[in-house]
Structure 1
Amino acid sequence: MFPSCLNAEAFEGNEELNSQHPSSSDGFSDFGTRTLFPPHLRAKFQLQLQPEAPQATMSHLLCALLSLLSFAALLESAQWKLQENVFVIDSRWDAEAPATMVELSCDSPEEAVLWRKDSSPFQEGKQRGKTLRVAVKELPDGGNYSCVSQESLRVLSSSLLLIARIGPDGTILRDILKSFQEPKTFLKCEAKNYSGVFTCSWMTENNPHVKFTIRSLEGPQGDVSCSTPVAVTEGALTTYTAQCHKENFCPFAEEHQPIDILLEAIDEVLYENYTASFFIRDIIKPDPPQCQHVATNGTVTWTYPRTWSTPNSYFPLTFKVKVKSTRRHRYQVYDTEEQWVQLPPGPAEVWVQARDRCYLSSWSSWSSLCR
């Protein structure tokens, strides 16, 4: 029985593969293209399983490249539209660079209008007329520019100008987020299994009022959707998390196109963005194993995490067992692919952690104390 997201016809007509597939002694484990397959059959199986992989991969790469180039082109322009009535001004962050001249138009049939900035009368440049030219250089130059009726003072239209500080190398200067220590990154994404669901996290320090948007770099046309970020504050540090889901993700198939995530941060008028690109297999971090039983003879057993992908024969885990002798106060760590370990005589404390056996992704956190 093959999962619906795999092409079962790839096995037809392959006598070598069909004859060896049922035997686990030859290195097979259920179905798929994970590294449990013998290398000489793995390559052959991949080609048959994905007969159009080269073209599909090229198409995906071209699509991703165009998305990245489009995004880069936006950053290269002096000003660009973030969303309706919201614009980002790329400001060269050095004293010698000139200001960017921005032209704003009042979207109203009324002719007699006044301009305001952040609800206060605009004191610089042309105050009357339906077109306003303003020099944008420093953060105080950003804000909400609105035109109002000269007669009724009713707001007719408005534009929010955000500022992205551009460094000497042409990239955005980034100060809003605080870096994680391990791994050293601003935007960290992890998946508990191969369902296509993953969680992205980021942190701020002494800055709890920043507004964030996280989405696929491909925009609404992408196949990744993310929830609204949730914030948890402890002291000066605020950690944000968002759950994302890659649509139609097949856990049994090889990944050919990375997921590209864009995080946008707005702190009043300051704009920054952060990106992450990864395959699901590279961000896997299982939940800790569940300790099951500690026998009187010193045998400790555990089970796979409930959140881990199934079947376990296709998604095997490897384990580390940390044992602390309560008498000698020393630690020993054992590596095993079994779900049990025999402890030496004497009282001890035991913890277990797990990692995907097929890919060198992250280890889980240690389990709760088994004994």
Structure 2
Amino acid sequence: MGGCVGSHHDSSGSLNENSDGTGVALGRNQPLKRDKPKWKSDYPMTDGQLRSKRDEFWDTAPAFEGRKEIWDALRAAAHAFESNDHELAQAIIDGASITLPHGYINSQALRHPLRNELEVPETLSIMIFVILNILLLIIQPGKGNESQPPNYSILQPNVLAVEVNLAESNPMVNVSLRCEETDNPREVSWQYNGAPMDQHGNDITVTVEELFGGNYTCYDSEGAFLNYTLVLVRSSGHKILMGSGDTGYIACTSQNYNGSFQCSWSWSPDRNGEVMFVTATRWSKGSEISCALGSSQQSISCQDQTYCPYAEEVDRIVIELGVRHKYRLEKYSVSFYINEIVKPDKLEITKIDQSKIEWEYPRTWSVPDSYFPLTFEVKELPHKKDCTCESKCRRNKPVKVNTTQDRQWTVKKGFIICVRAQDALCNSSWSDWSQYITRGKGSRKYRRSNPQ
């Protein structure tokens, strides 16, 4: 109910135990391998031609076999893997309930619980290897394609994202820059981070070493500014945002089940970053969820217009965030169901009489209450204690936490009553504590905390 009865895919589970003779049980899910396939075209093919074939494949594949939402999930996983975001690709595969018996995405190793195998026509066999194994990652180009390195891409107008393999003994990438898109270019000079360069002309090639990107600007013969290109170097490390692989880097929460949610992050103390891109999508739908970036560039507010609070969530929401510090570019991602991030607002407590209090569901919570029930935790603490107190709060006695679905409580003078709420059907986050304070023994003055 309320979007909370959806099944969750267990990536370690088994759909069947049949073996194909390779020693790997079919149906037993294997982690997506990091190996990047190598392939060479039988005939000269440019990078643009190969990308065109890839797009054609994704657009037509669902018309042959399998469910469209599964193909869409595979497409999202391919793009994530192509961007070297192995964790996101694995999360998409898991979220779509796709099993990889051998740890590879190919026509012989894709299974889904609603269709034992995903197959495509034999005429597309070469595209299976090129597309489903995400061939554009490391292509050994055929003749005619040697001058087009696949290791940098246009992140946005005037901004290039460069892939430099730091594992190499001499990590560097040659990048082609153009000042003006014209058939009759003017005499052009260049500067790198404000310093004059020896190279001249409308088209130049620069070498990007390790993580040393920069801002390349071009000028006409009289020194007038013409254009610029910001070259950022993608980094597989996570140093711009605070967090860790265990705690995460992006925190998301939702007040209810109306399809809206918020996500936030924090810059590392010595790095003031800048958001270069942020997207929110559901895998099978393929369309972006509308999001607005906060003025501090440390949060987003999003709304999924197609979300239905009364239906089971089939796909996870995927957030992708690209941030830069100087010329370093890092990509972060997180995925979730709404029911995993829902957190009710604080409860508003009111006094019934001298001995009882009551509270209501938050006004922002989804209705009806019968379909979106809440459960409550109540604890009593001595005066001058705080609701966040967890130990040594009552003369070294453990604090008793009472769980109830009632909305009334008998108060004791001289005590603080703490109440919080959680979705009764999901193991999601508890609301922040609300407190009700009696003003000392024998006093008839009460104070209640207002919800935020």
* TM-score, normalisation: structure 1: 0.73
Deviations 1:211-252 (A, max 9, x none): 113222579962411112243xxxxxxx92221111122111
Cα distance in 1 for residues equivalent to 2:169 and 2:264: 37
Deviations 1:307-343 (A, max 9, x none): 1111111100000001114495553211001111335
Cα distance in 1 for residues equivalent to 2:3 and 2:204: 61
Cα distance in 2 for residues equivalent to 1:221 and 1:322: 45
1:152 aligns with 2:209: no
Contact 2:176–2:204 (CA under 8 A) maintained in structure 1: yes
1:189 aligns with 2:198: no
Residue of structure 1 in register with 2:420 after alignment: 353
Cα distance in 2 for residues equivalent to 1:241 and 1:84: 23
Q: What's the CA shift for 1:115?
A: 1.8
1:305 aligns with 2:362: yes
Greater share of strand residues, 1 or 2?
Answer: 1
Residue of structure 2 in register with 1:24 after alignment: none
Contact 1:82–1:88 (CA under 8 A) maintained in structure 2: yes
Cα distance in 2 for residues equivalent to 1:81 and 1:218: 24
1:222 to 287, 295, 310: 287
Mapping of 1:10-25 within 5 angstroms?
A: none
Contact 1:74–1:80 (CA under 8 A) maintained in structure 2: no
Q: What's the CA shift for 1:33?
A: 7.0
Helix, strand or coil at the partner of 2:367? coil
1:121 aligns with 2:196: yes
Q: What's the CA shift for 1:254?
A: 1.0
Cα distance in 2 for residues equivalent to 1:291 and 1:259: 34
Cα distance in 2 for residues equivalent to 1:273 and 1:262: 7
1:273 aligns with 2:331: yes
Q: 1:240 to 1:156 in 2, by over 3 A?
A: closer
Contact 1:319–1:335 (CA under 8 A) maintained in structure 2: yes
Q: What's the CA shift for 1:59?
A: 2.6
Cα distance in 1 for residues equivalent to 2:2 and 2:318: 25
Contact 2:282–2:317 (CA under 8 A) maintained in structure 1: no
1:100 to 161, 173, 187: 173
Q: What's the CA shift for 1:180?
A: 7.4
Contact 1:324–1:332 (CA under 8 A) maintained in structure 2: no
Larger deviation, residues 243-252 vs 100-109: 100-109
Cα distance in 2 for residues equivalent to 1:367 and 1:266: 39
Contact 2:281–2:288 (CA under 8 A) maintained in structure 1: no
- Fraction of identical pairs, as percent: 29
Cα distance in 2 for residues equivalent to 1:128 and 1:222: 43
Deviations 1:230-288 (A, max 9, x none): 43xxxxxxx92221111122111111111111111011211011001111111111112
Residue of structure 2 in register with 1:6 after alignment: none
Q: 1:110 to 1:180 in 2, by over 3 A?
A: closer
Contact 1:143–1:161 (CA under 8 A) maintained in structure 2: yes
Cα distance in 1 for residues equivalent to 2:280 and 2:424: 29
Matched pairs, number: 299
Q: 1:217 to 1:90 in 2, by over 3 A?
A: farther
Q: What's the CA shift for 1:128?
A: 2.0
* TM-score, normalisation: structure 2: 0.60
1:291 aligns with 2:356: no
Cα distance in 2 for residues equivalent to 1:33 and 1:201: 23
User: CA RMSD, aligned part only?
Assistant: 2.8
1:264 aligns with 2:329: no
1:201 aligns with 2:272: no
1:68 aligns with 2:77: yes
Q: What's the CA shift for 1:208?
A: 6.2
Cα distance in 2 for residues equivalent to 1:272 and 1:218: 22
1:84 aligns with 2:157: yes
